[in-house]
Structures are given as structure tokens and as C-alpha cells.
Amino acid sequence: MAEPSPASASSDSSTLSWKKRRLPTVASLRRAALQGKGEESGAPATVAGWLAGRRSSGRLLFLNFRDGSGFAQVVVFRKAVSSEAFEAARHCPLESAVEIRGAAFAEPRAPGGMELRATDFRVIHAAEPYPITPKEHGASFLLDRRHLWLRSRRQHALLRIRDEVLFAFREYLRDQGFICGDTPIFTPNACEGTTTLFETQYFDRHAYLSQSGQLYNEAIAMSVGRTYCLGPTFRAEKSKTRRHLIEFWMLEPEVAFAELGEIVELAEGLICHAVDRVLTNRAAELATLDRDPERLRRIQPPFPRITYDQAAARLAEKGTDFTLGDDFGAPDETALTEGMDRPLVVTHFPAAIKAFYMEPAPGRPDRVLGMDILAPEGYGEIVGGGQRIHDHDLLRERVREHGLPEEAFGWYLDLRRFGSVPHSGFGLGIERFVAWMSGISHLREAIPFPRTLYRLSP
């Protein structure tokens, strides 16, 4: 622990305002100040938070203050506060917890249009020297200190955009008659192939961490019709790219009686709703991240749809070294969406490169009713899904062909024995979506504590 600063030593903590009542926030003060006319009429208020930055020019200190709801410029004028408060504001280390009394005024020159003029400043907890300084730090330095890095203005914005996206997805699905059914993380089955399974001990048995909630969603859909799950999924992918995480969150809707076209439309509506919510409610955060909102405004339905074979032909025209029959790599996805302002829907993939459960295309048994949605600007696949096999015997054949243990899939095959109907669904990768909305280049900043090939801490 650092030595307490003179101010915290002298202040009786029981008199600190944050202990007594709910304080106004930077966000609420900004709203009030911006609604006023900007005349010198700010009502006195106390806020509690952290000292995020400081500049001084003689008798004036400009503090960057963060209280969780946002950041505010605080001006401490030597003559407006006690000398003890001025010294505390001038010297207390960055990231100290502080309480500031003052009045908020509209100030066009201040970031966010509001400025808090201090009349008192107190230290709640003096920080030790803060390791993250305004100079440029490398990614690994920052990731080692992810627990502190989250406090930066940029990470604050990303956390809020992620929250907005998750809320918008839930809101949209609820409006469309979906209910959230949760799916297990410990599973005995592989959903997306056996090469990326995380095996773990389950008492005296082996279990896997879930790659996808889909198989369980299919069971829930046969009960409630329209369901979704939203949670962490795990892939032991040895690929070290900016688009892969080992633990990532997925939103997975599943719809009984729906065919491929219907869930493409569902995905389109869902994506556009979330884009709209981010634009409406997170404009300030987009500005913090230098994300041009015009790019997001152009994401409108309908999204163009092409088949895998058309996509392959397009890649051949572009002269990429893609081979027909292969899955698209990141460079292929980027080439396919080049110059596009909205996502591209690709359907009818070769059965050989897709999961065992995909419904064959009518009249084209070598193609399946799968769909991927590729985001523009190089973000690549954000959605993967399709129509599921609903015929019992065909599904059992596929389980065998894929070398999957039939015992573990008994319950899944059961769904095709009792009132089986065509059904479809998809998975949307939350971090890929958030990265795209935010315009960031690497998925690791789209989740508070990223798990990547070489990183398990903090």
C-alpha cells in the first residue's frame, strides 16, 4: 500500500459523501448541463470515481475524471478550493479513488460538452504508481495488465458497445417470440467436429466443454418453438489469428418449422436491429473508437445472397488461389466482401466441409442447406448455421459417417423419432460482431478477459 496522501490522512472517511447517499453520475450531470443553456447555473454536486488523467497550467488543473458512467473534464482553479484540496488534486497519483464536489456546466471546448468546476477534492484511496501511462504500450504489456487496462477510455467504450449488442440481441429475439433456454457447458458430445474439443475430467468420466449449444437448442425448440442460448463456447483451435478466441460467446437461435430462407431473414433482422441500437445508444463510444457511424448506417436489409458455387466462381474471377470444394479462408472472405457496405450471405456449401447435421440441398446431395454470413471490411464470418437434418435414418447415417460415438447421440436422434419437423438455426459470434461494430482489428479487445492460444491470465 502507498502512503496515504495528506488529503486522505486528514479526511474523516465517514464524512465522504459516497457513503451517505446515491451520488449523481457524470452521465446524469452531462445530461442536465447539456439541457441547460450553458449559463453559470450549475447546481452543486458531488461525484465519486477515479482520477484518469491530469494536466496543469499554473493555477489551473484539468483533471480527467471517470466515475463508471463516463469521463468528465474537471477544472480545479486554485482560488476555488482550499489549498489542501488543490495540493491533493495536483499530486495524488493517477487511478486514485477520489471524491469531487463542484458544479457542472455546458462547455463546448470540453470533451463531451460538459465541464465540472471543482469546489472540493478529496482522496478516498491513493493509488500506487500506475503501470499504464499515456505513452504507447505493446499489446502483451497491456494484456498482462488487462484487469487495469479495462479502465481506459477505449476499453470502457468497448465494454459498453458489447453490452449494447447483447441487450439488443435479447430484445429483438424476445420481440420475435423467442425465449432464452440455456444449454450446458459440460457435454458428452461434439457438435462442431472432434478436432477442436476441450476434454476435461467429469469425476470418473471424460466430458467436453461445449463448442455450441445447438444440439440442445434443437431439443428446446421442439418444446417452445423458438428458442436461443447465449453463453461461452470453447474451441481448442491452435490457430493464432486476430479472428479466433479459445473461449468466445455465441448467440444461437433455433426455430422449429423454419427452413433455410427464414433463418437467413431472422439473422438479417437481428443484425440490423443491433446495428441500429449501437448507432442510437452508443454514438459517443463509437466516436471514442474513431468508428465512422456512416459505415454502420449503410448496414441495411436485404443482404445480398449467393451460393457457395457462385462465391467460388467470383473468387476464380478475382484470381485468388481458392480451390473449389475447400472452405473459405480469411483472405477469401475478405475478397468476397470487397467493396461491399453490408454483409454477404453464402448458402449451399459442399456437404464435405460442413458439420454432420446439415440438411442436404434438394436435388444436390453434395451440397447442404448451410449458410454463413460474412461481414464486410475484412471481419469475415460472423454467423454460421443452416437447416438441420430432420430425418432419423439420414441423421444416424451421418453420425456414423463422421465417426461420432452413436451412444452419445442417442438423445439427439430421439428428437427425430418423436414429431420430427424441419428446423433451422444459427450461431453468431459475439466478439466478431462487437469487433466489427467497433472497428477494432483484433477480437481480444471485444471481451473483458480474452482467452487466446497463449493466454490464460489474468
Task: Give the footprint of ligand 4AD on this chain (CB under 6 A).
Answer: 191-192, 212, 214, 235, 237, 244-245, 248, 250, 252, 381-385, 425-427, 429, 431-432, 443
Is the Cβ of residue 255 or residue 296 nearer to ligand 4AD in the bound state?
255
Distance CA 297, CA 300 (A): 7
The nearer residue to ligand 4AD, 141 or 257, going by C-beta atoms, is 257
Work out what residue 249 binds among Mg ion, ligand 4AD, none; the CB cut-off runs from 5 to 8 Å by kind.
none
Number of residues that bind Mg ion (CB under 5 A): 1
Contact partner, 333, from ligand 4AD, Mg ion, none, Cβ < 5-8 Å per class: none
Comparing CB distances to ligand 4AD, the nearer of 75 and 306 is: 306
Binding part of the chain for Mg ion, among 103-111, 130-138, 268-276, 378-386 by CB under 5 A, reads: 378-386
Indicate which of ligand 4AD, Mg ion, none lies near residue 343 (CB less than 5 to 8 Å, by partner kind). Answer: none
Q: Closest Cα partner for 249 from 189, 201, 185?
A: 185
How many residues are listed for the chain in this entry?
458
Cα(311)–Cα(124) distance, rounded to whole angstroms?
A: 60
Binding partner at 252 among ligand 4AD, Mg ion, none, C-beta below 5 to 8 Å by kind: ligand 4AD
CB 345 within 8 A of CB 303: yes
Grid cell, residue 364, equals 444436390
Closer CB to Mg ion, 191 or 447, in the complex? 191
Q: In the bound complex, what is the minimum distance in angstroms from residue 279's beta carbon to ligand 4AD?
A: 21
Q: In which residue are the cell numbers 455450441 written?
A: 212
State the binding partner of 263 from Mg ion, ligand 4AD, none, CB within 5 to 8 A by kind.
Answer: none
Shortest gap between Cβ of 232 and ligand 4AD (angstroms)? 11
Closer residue to ligand 4AD (CB): 267 or 289: 267
Angstrom distance (rounded) from CA 352 to CA 323: 14
Question: What contacts 86, CB < 8 A, 6 or more positions away?
Answer: 61, 76, 78, 121
Helical (H) or strand (E) element with 215: helix 214-224
Picked from Mg ion, ligand 4AD, none, the partner binding residue 157 (CB below 5 to 8 A depending on kind) is none
CB closer to Mg ion, 104 vs 230: 230
- Residue whose C-alpha is closest to residue 242's, from 127, 357, 377: 377
209, 185 Cβ separation under 8 angstroms: yes
Give the range of 26-34, 377-385, 404-412, 445-453 binding Mg ion by CB under 5 A.
377-385
- Rounded to 5 degrees, φ, ψ at 22 are -75, 125
Query: Segment contacting Mg ion (CB under 5 A): 52-60, 161-169, 282-290, 384-392?
Result: 384-392
Q: Which residue type occupies 436?
A: W
49 or 384, CB closer to Mg ion?
Answer: 384
Residue position matching grid coordinates 436461443: 228
Find the binder of Mg ion among 70, 350, 384, 385 (CB under 5 A): 384
Contacts by 184-188, CB closer than 8 A, 24 or more apart: 184/210, 184/213, 184/216, 185/209, 185/210, 185/231, 185/232, 185/234, 186/210, 188/408
Residues that bind Mg ion (CB under 5 A): 384
